[in-house]
Structure 1
């Protein structure tokens, strides 16, 4: 039985981080300028050259050390501290009024204006009739 520490599988780490970022292999491939098949091969590799690892880390928004020293807790912490999305910020879009109440108010105002218009038209018609009778 050996007590030697097994080296970390960098490809699996990349795959897991990519999945945590909700990124497809095609998107990562496009970001680093390779094909989807190359990304699949990279994710199957135990080790990756430092230059490619740096490019992948940049595309995933984490450091290359985070990929090398992958653990669920550390990655969640790094992503939580570096990922900036407007959806994650709290916004208060609650109305301070009931839109239906405002709609009903406007309908009532329209009815009042219509009734005033009808009254004015009646008065005008009565005035014109009075003028016609006088002649």
Structure 2
């Protein structure tokens, strides 16, 4: 068997996607309204009808194109982008102290609260003045 035949085996692709989604055959069978044996047969099939493939894609939460174009290599390449530090685009070094930022926020809140209290004091003073003038 050559690799081209293996890579176009729709049943295997469905099986791998199901496994990557941490789904058992029974769960997929339930979503499709069938049994586990039917899923096993389906995953051993090299080709699947387009209408059935749409139902399977929906149950797996992927598109039909994702199933048709699935390859192990693309999955590994995708996950390697999360750990490839050589590209220089992944920076997990914090450039500030989070506690300093928190304390800045606390100080800002204190200032706002003090301004609010002063505004309330000014209102009370103004209202007392109005009451005093009316007497």
Q: Normalising by the residue count of structure 2, what TM-score does the alignment of the two structures yield?
A: 0.50
Higher Cα Rg: structure 1 or 2?
1
Counterparts of 1:107-122 in structure 2, within 5 Å, are none
Aligned position for 2:64: 64
User: Over residues 87-107 of structure 1, what are the superposed CA-to-partner deviations in whole Å (9 max), with x where a residue is unaligned?
Assistant: xxxxxxxxxxxxxxxxxxxxx
Q: Following superposition, which runs of at least 4 residues in structure 1 exceed 4 angstroms of deviation?
A: 73-78
User: Aligned-pair RMSD on alpha carbons?
Assistant: 2.7
5+ residue gaps in structure 2?
Answer: 79-135
Q: Structure 1 residue 71: deviation in Å?
A: 1.5
| 2:32 counterpart residue number | 32
> Does residue 17 of the first structure (1) align with residue 12 of the second (2)?
no
Q: 1:54 to 1:75 in 2, by over 3 A?
A: farther
Seen in structure 2, the aligned counterparts of structure 1 residues 57 and 76 have a Cα distance that, compared at 3 Å, is: farther
C-alpha distance in 1 between matches for 2:20 and 2:77: 12
Structure 1 portions without partners, runs of 5+: 79-135
Judge conservation of contact 1:17–1:75 (CA < 8 Å) in 2: no
